[in-house]
Amino acid sequence: MAVGGHGGRTRDTVPYVPSSPQQVANTLALLRGRSGKTVDLGSGDGRIVVEAYKQGLRPAVGFELNPWLWHLSNYRAWKAGYHGKVSFLKKDLWKVNLSDCYNVIVFLAPSVKPPLAAKLLAELPDEARVVAGRFPFPSWTPTTTHGQGLDQVWAYDMKEVRRAAQSHAEGSPV
């Protein structure tokens, strides 16, 4: 999976590793009962986006730059009967405005997490929840987690993340 350029680099390549059925289930368990636009940043083969739509998270959108994975995502949606109901966009996640997203799913490499954390803090509404799979955000404290080992996922509520960042900033010497 390709992730668009950031910080002067033209492109970071993040290896594609499909989410296991348990990772998908754990991710969606942390979004159960929520509403609003749901996006998967680096959506791979689209399995999480399709399952999110099935579970009532709408609109459900995946961002994926790899053309092969983008086509596979659209095929998966068509095969599941959701063609035209879910969206897969070939857009650089660094250039997408996420201010209307309330549920953000991130299964990306640790090297991407620090700059992505800054983008999410700057753009997401307070009511948003970010669910990270495989690797947690290193500087954030999760609101809750689900699963264990390779299937563990971490949920971060932006209001709590901002509150922690604010209290940390206030507590640090000037």
pLDDT of residue 165: 85
**CATH for the 2-171 domain, from 3.30.2130.30, 3.30.110.30, 3.40.50.150, 3.30.70.20:** 3.40.50.150
Nearest to 105 by CA among 60, 160, 140: 60
Q: What is the mean pLDDT of residues 17-23?
A: 88
Nearest-10 crossing angle of helices 67-79, 47-54 = 30
Q: What is the DSSP letter of 147?
A: S
How far is the C-alpha of 137 from the C-alpha of 126, rounded, in Å? 17
Q: What pLDDT sits at residue 10? A: 34
Alpha helices in the chain (DSSP H): 21-29, 47-54, 67-79, 113-123, 158-171
Integer angstrom CA distances of residue 154 from 22, 86, 98: 14, 24, 19
For 110: left if phi > 0, alpha if psi spans -120 to 50, otherwise beta; the answer is: alpha
Does residue 9 carry a pLDDT above 50? no
More confident: 64 or 174: 64
Q: In percent, how much of the chain has pLDDT > 70?
A: 89
What rounded mean pLDDT belongs to the chain?
90
Per-residue pLDDT at 172: 57
Contact 155, 60 (CB under 8 A): no
For 109-147, how does the pLDDT look when each residue is reduced to its tens digit (9 = 90+)?
999 999 999 999 999 999 999 999 999 999 999 999 999
Looking at the predicted structure, is the pLDDT value of residue 174 above 60? Answer: no
Contact 64, 73 (CB under 8 A): yes
Query: Can you give the residue ranges of every domain in the chain?
Result: 2-171
pLDDT for position 124: 98
Beta-sheet pairing, 129-133 with 87-89? unpaired
What's the pLDDT at 16? Answer: 76
Closest listed residue to residue 155, CA positions, set 55, 49, 26, 69 = 26
